[in-house]
Amino acid sequence: MAAAPVWSVDPRTGKQREQVAVEATAQEVDEQVRAAHDARGALADRAVRSAFLRTAADLLESAKDQLVEAADAETALGPVRLTGELARTCYQLRAFADIVDEGAFLDVVINHPDDTATPPIPDLRRYKVPLGVVAVYSASNFPFAFSVAGGDTASALAAGCPVVVKAHPDHPALSELVAATLRRAAEQHGIPKGVVGLVHGFEAGVELVKHPLVSAAGFTGSVRGGRALFDAAAARPTPIPFHGELGSLNPVVITEAAAAERAEAIGSGLAGSMTLGVGQFCVKPGLVLAPTGAAGDRLVKSLTEAVSDTDAGVLLDHRMRDNFIAGVTERTALPDVESPVTPGAGSEHTVSPGFLTVPAEKLAAEGEHDLLLEECFGPITVVARYEDEAQAKSVLDRLPGNLTATVHLSTEEAAGEGRGAEILAELTPLAGRVLVNGWPTGVAVAPAQHHGGPYPATTSTSTSVGGTAIERWLRPVVYQNAPEALLPPELRDDNPLGLPRRYDGRLER
């Protein structure tokens, strides 16, 4: 039976553009993984792999026009958004190159023998080594930053791990172009091009996570797809770490004092955040707890005006469009749910933004309104109107894990008066990033960033954005009483590589 073709599709028309590839067979997945596995030694030198990452960024930038054009044709995200995302992707690659050069990620710790300790301490030397081949599953909504050259790939390569990427079906042509660019960068530094593999097809993705030479996986996508791969990773004869980002509601709490102080600004800000990128961000605010009363009414009025002025847009593919329309239809049919601006179908290929309102009491206990506590991908949010603080808290207590949680406070509350600190404490167990007086869309690439959260936001406690994302692809090893001549240079007393380390309890830089 012939392998199924992989087509590039224009989401603005739903028409096929070109056949890009064919879906990979199990044998072809095996070939890609084995080629990646054979390339591990070429990444052993930190100077080589940091130079590789920088060259990759340079080559991606030099091909900007071609890449942005290809990405826009397959995603309809627009040249401005995509140019910015490509710049972010190149920044990530260079940031991880800096991390590799610095070496602190190796977490070197040396303890010399101490016979006076109880129990006695032998000579112990600890650092981190790469896990091996990493499977990367591309996201639909970030064709650069969470795809072939995205954060999972950049951090894995920085850790010294080759990758095999499962291309997303929404941008297969772009995936091929980016993979070819990374391979050219690798070859410029004597690294085999197999260090970055690429496969297409659903079954290929399943075969990939099951392959015995794959040592870890990174995924960004849906709860259903991510959980299936997570279960497959755990069911292997040798289970592997699966770092999956699955779904998030990203709750927002607006205090009555904040609404009274700046209802109009909050309403317009919410509209901008929930419709950004046609609502296709993993950190889109999907549930908003807003007070009843005059201040809350002003907020809803402002949100209504701002969302009404927002144009319809194209989703990443027609399957997502169908799911969005079906999800909106099911939610608007619930009792006591109103839609000041009804989301749904725009033209034949677009969707229009909107939002729903519901009394918070309907979400405070299990029932048919639980559907409103599930993510709906696209330009929609749910505004739950609460009567008092206890009612708002009862809704928060029912929420699963999230990537973000936000609170909008008044000036006095932000200064420490009222329940500001208490609300912050209530939100902390819910999310990996807690915001005050801001909006969650926009994830800065910075050393202190954490993009993750309790399940189902992610399947691990790690981050997929920021410098510490590299930790996902490393494991600690300690050598005990090993002769100095046999130790790797990272663990020798004279520190020939000049690494930051903790030496007999003292932090050395």
Question: Does 495 map to a domain?
Answer: no
Look at residues 419, 436, 453 and tell me which one is the last residue of a structural domain.
436
Instruction: Let me know: does 478 contact 125? Beta carbons within 8 Å.
Output: yes
Residues 89 and 198 both lie in one domain:
yes
Residue 509 has pLDDT above 90, yes or no: no
pLDDT of residue 414: 96
Instruction: Let me know: does 331 contact 337? Beta carbons within 8 Å.
Output: yes
Residues 278 and 355 both lie in one domain:
yes
Burial of 480 per CB tally in 10 Å (0-12, 13-18, 19+): exposed
Q: 478: Cβ–Cβ under 8 A, 6 or more apart, which residues?
A: 124, 125, 126
Coarse DSSP helix, strand, coil percentages of the chain, rounded to the nearest 5 percent: 45, 20, 35
The 10 Å CB-count burial string (b at 16+, else e) for 35-65 is bbbebbebbeebebbbbbbbbbbbbbeebee
Question: Does 502 map to a domain?
Answer: no
DSSP state of 121: B
Instruction: Let me know: does 404 contact 428? Beta carbons within 8 Å.
Output: no
Query: How far is 40 from 42, CA to CA, in rounded Å?
Result: 5
Query: How far is 179 from 174, CA to CA, in rounded Å?
Result: 9
Question: Does 39 map to a domain?
Answer: yes
Does the annotation count 245 as an active-site position? yes
Average pLDDT, the chain: 97
Residues 241 and 346 both lie in one domain:
no
pLDDT of residue 1: 55
Residues 59 and 198 both lie in one domain:
yes
Any bridge partners for residue 121, and if so which? 114
Residues 123 and 272 both lie in one domain:
no
Question: Does 480 map to a domain?
Answer: no
Among residues 90, 161, 282, 376, the one annotated as catalytic is 282
CATH number of the domain bearing residue 366: 3.40.309.10
pLDDT tens for residues 432-491? 999 999 999 999 999 999 999 999 999 999 999 999 999 999 999 999 999 999 999 999
Is the peptide bond between 119 and the residue preceding it cis, with omega within 30 degrees of 0?
Answer: yes
Q: pTM of this prediction?
A: 0.96
pLDDT of residue 264: 98
Between CA 6 and CA 15, with CA 12 as vertex, the angle to 5 degrees is 40
- Of the pLDDT bands very low, low, confident and very high (cuts 50, 70, 90), residue 3 is confident
Residues 230 and 330 both lie in one domain:
no
Query: How far is 472 from 131, CA to CA, in rounded Å?
Result: 9
Domain with 190, as residue range(s), is 21-246+461-473
Phi, psi of 203 (to 5 degrees): -65, -35
Residues 220 and 278 both lie in one domain:
no
Residues 97 and 170 both lie in one domain:
yes
pLDDT tens for residues 42-97? 999 999 999 999 999 999 999 999 999 999 999 999 999 999 999 999 999 999 99
Residues 329 and 232 both lie in one domain:
no
Alpha carbon separation from 216 to 79, 161, 280 (Å, rounded): 33, 10, 27
Spell out the SS3 assignment of 131-144: CCEEEEECCCCCCC
Question: Does 306 map to a domain?
Answer: yes
Between CA 137 and CA 144, with CA 142 as vertex, the angle to 5 degrees is 85
Question: Does 443 map to a domain?
Answer: no
Residue 2 has pLDDT above 90, yes or no: no
CA gyration radius for the chain? 25
Residues 223 and 362 both lie in one domain:
no
Residues 338 and 430 both lie in one domain:
yes
Among residues 28, 85, 245, 426, the one annotated as catalytic is 245
Alpha carbon separation from 175 to 201, 217, 356, 365, 439 (Å, rounded): 13, 18, 36, 44, 30
* Domain count of the fold of the chain: 2
Query: How far is 64 from 53, CA to CA, in rounded Å?
Result: 17
Phi, psi of 175 (to 5 degrees): -60, -40
Residues 143 and 102 both lie in one domain:
yes
CATH number of the domain bearing residue 72: 3.40.605.10
Question: Does 416 map to a domain?
Answer: yes
pLDDT tens for residues 150-185? 999 999 999 999 999 999 999 999 999 999 999 999
Q: Which residue in the block uniquely carries the two structure tokens 């590589």?
A: 497
Any bridge partners for residue 408, and if so which? 254
Percent of the chain with pLDDT over 70: 100
